[in-house]
Copies of this chain bind each other. A is one copy, B any other.
């Protein structure tokens, strides 16, 4: 079985640097038209539109028409799942690191408390 189409998954959507850049632009600039995004990205318009399409499909951005322009907005709450996931490991790089690591290794060796 070959690779499964992991697109339409938030983690995959943000794996692309350009798409992260788009997210950053929308986070900083609020709602923006495609043209504005194209101007900020060093990429041809069709490519930007395609990346926006991915983000749209995943729900990370939403669009509404404004004349012939399409205004994109960030739906930031869709990123929450990523935040929540990494947050689970936050303690592992905190200042408690040493103690936690030690405990984990002891456990791995099968030692009793």
Q: Which A residues lie at the B interface, using CB under 8 A?
A: 6, 9, 11-12, 14-17, 20, 23-24, 27, 29-32, 71, 73-74, 76-77, 79-80, 82-83, 85-90, 92-93, 97, 101, 103-108
Quick one: given A11-B14, A14-B11, are A76 and B105 in contact (CB under 8 Å)?
A: no
User: With A6-B17, A108-B31 in contact, is A89–B11 under 8 Å at CB?
Assistant: no
| Chain B residues, Cβ within 8 Å of A20 | 11, 85
Alpha-carbon gap, A17 to B7, bound state (A): 12
Counted per complex, copies of this chain come to 2
Contacts of A24 in B (CB 8 A): 88
* Interchain CA distance A73-B93 in the complex, whole Å: 13
- Contact residue among B15, B89, B107 (Cβ-Cβ distance under 8 Å from A74): B89
